[in-house]
Amino acid sequence: MDWEAHARRLADEVVRPESRWHEPLATTPRHAFVPSWWENVGGQWELREGAAGPGRWLDVAYSDRTLVTRVGALHADDAPPDCVTSGLPTSSSTLPGLIVQMYRHAVIGDGSEVLVTTGSGYGTALACRRLGDRQVTSIDVDPDLVALATDRLREAGHRPQLAVCDITGQLPGTYDRIVSTVSVRPVPASWLAALRPGGRLVTTIAGTGLILTADKTEDGGAVGRITEDGAGFMRTRRGADYDRPTEAVWEKAQHADGEEVSASRYPLLSVPDSWDIMSMLELEVPGVDHRTAQDGEERTVWMLHPDGSWARATARGFLDSPTVHQAGPRRLWDALERIRHRLNREGRLPVHGAGVNITPDGETVLSRGAWSVTL
């Protein structure tokens, strides 16, 4: 299988030829880390098997896109042929351009010893190509994923240290860089303990599109910023699947009359379609679950919270004023509209470019101007 030409093409698309990440991208067999994957078709996940269509396999594997490898507890490698499933993605092979973006934010030097997250193992392989196996430690909370990645990394000629580990707990060593392609909130104190003096951590904040970079300070904390570019990663988990704490709220919110009914002044917005607004809302009201539905020209969005709060907004057409139903201890739609007011008034939300200050015990404060939030 002539995968090398596809890998070189991918490398040329993602970075310039003089980049230190060009050679790793051009010589790492991504298809070997993703022999099967899930594609979302109409809200359902359909299995795709590389061996069933080698040409498409290479096209997909060497495209700059994320490939979902597990939905719920079902890994694509373990699914029966033509399987269709539903649920939340729980593991993936992150798009190569984003992996390199995260590594660049980490400012990895030739001598850096790094901790990365495992997933499919592809990002670990890129780090091994760049640094050498002995400088790379890769961890995942799932033993099956670590076992799969270990085998595939060995087939690709790599033997980094791999470990089954909850990244929010104690880490298996000390490092110059920690790069997490799973999102956290707040930054675990164990990361600060595992970072060497002057070390850097790079991660995303759970539920947002915000990349956080921070350098360790002499007092054992860290200072940094939220980058101007964004990214979204799956949240950390401890079991095989994510809990859905809003299912009981969903039963009420689908059709019930709200305790308060109003007309929104803004066109209907599905919050995850706007990363800045989604990020700002998640910082101020953590844990909102967003859902959508469309029936002909009528569109509906829901905001659900584990505390029992919910909002449902429905509109016909993109410019019509939505009718909003809200109930529960908080008015979620009102919180959203305050953020949209601020965006209209100031032209920008303060999330990107915000300063970051992390105490040694992991308390994380974001601030910009008069605005601040503690994670």
pLDDT at residue 238, rounded to an integer = 77
pLDDT at residue 221, rounded to an integer = 96
Q: Which residues pair with 183 in a beta bridge?
A: 235
Mean pLDDT for 227-242 is 84
Mean pLDDT for 116-120 is 96
pLDDT at residue 262, rounded to an integer = 95
Q: Please, what is the average pLDDT of the chain?
A: 95
Distances (CA, A) of 131 to 33, 111, 176, 371: 19, 7, 13, 40
Distances (CA, A) of 11 to 16, 110, 157, 163, 360: 8, 20, 20, 29, 38
Instruction: Assess whether pLDDT exceeds 80 at residue 241.
Output: no
CA 321/CA 332 separation, integer angstroms:
17
CA 136/CA 241 separation, integer angstroms:
27
Instruction: Assess whether pLDDT exceeds 90 at residue 320.
Output: no
pLDDT at residue 337, rounded to an integer = 96
Distances (CA, A) of 38 to 35, 108, 239: 11, 32, 20
Report whether 352 contacts 283 (CB < 8 A). Answer: no
Q: Tell me which H or E stretch contains 10.
A: helix 4-14
pLDDT at residue 279, rounded to an integer = 96
**Residue in the structure block whose two tokens are 């601040």:** 372
pLDDT above 70 as % of the chain = 100
Q: What is the pLDDT of residues 201-220, one digit of tens each?
A: 999 999 999 999 999 999 99
**51 token code pair:** 């061996």
- Phi, psi (deg, nearest 5) at residue 195: -80, 135
Domains, the chain, in order of start with CATH, read 4-230 (3.40.50.150), 247-346 (3.30.160)
**84 token code pair:** 């269709």
The β-bridge relationship of strands 161-164 and 364-368 is unpaired
Q: What is the pLDDT of residues 354-369, one digit of tens each?
A: 999 999 998 999 999 9
Mean pLDDT for 72-89 is 94
pLDDT at residue 234, rounded to an integer = 85
Assessment of whether the complete model's pTM goes beyond 0.85: yes
Q: Tell me which H or E stretch contains 345.
A: helix 332-346
pLDDT at residue 240, rounded to an integer = 76
CA 213/CA 345 separation, integer angstroms:
28
pLDDT at residue 211, rounded to an integer = 96
Report whether 60 contacts 68 (CB < 8 A). Answer: no
pLDDT at residue 42, rounded to an integer = 86
pLDDT at residue 244, rounded to an integer = 82
Mean pLDDT for 95-105 is 97
Burial of 340-357, coded b for 16+ CB within 10 Å and e otherwise, reads bebeeeeeebbbbebebb
Report whether 290 contacts 272 (CB < 8 A). Answer: yes
Alpha helices by DSSP H, 15-171: 22-27, 30-33, 54-61, 96-105, 122-131, 143-155
pLDDT band of residue 319 (cuts 50, 70, 90) is confident
Burial class (CB in 10 A: 0-12, 13-18, 19+), 306: middle
pLDDT at residue 214, rounded to an integer = 97
Q: Residue 228: helix, strand or coil by DSSP?
A: strand
Q: What is the pLDDT of residues 8-49, one digit of tens each?
A: 999 999 999 999 999 999 999 999 999 999 999 988 999 999
Mean pLDDT for 174-190 is 95
pLDDT at residue 281, rounded to an integer = 97
Instruction: Assess whether pLDDT exceeds 80 at residue 261.
Output: yes
CA 25/CA 3 separation, integer angstroms:
12
Mean pLDDT for 184-196 is 95
Q: What is the pLDDT of residues 128-167, one digit of tens each?
A: 999 999 999 999 999 999 999 999 999 999 999 999 999 9
CA 27/CA 139 separation, integer angstroms:
23
CA 355/CA 142 separation, integer angstroms:
33
CA 182/CA 142 separation, integer angstroms:
13
Going through 131-247 in order, the beta strands assigned E by DSSP cover 136-140, 161-164, 175-179, 195-204, 210-216, 222-230
Mean pLDDT for 284-304 is 94
Sign (positive or negative) of CA dihedral 151, 51, 129, 121: negative
pLDDT at residue 331, rounded to an integer = 97
- Phi, psi (deg, nearest 5) at residue 278: -60, -45
pLDDT at residue 232, rounded to an integer = 85
Residues 6+ apart with CB under 8 A from 274: none
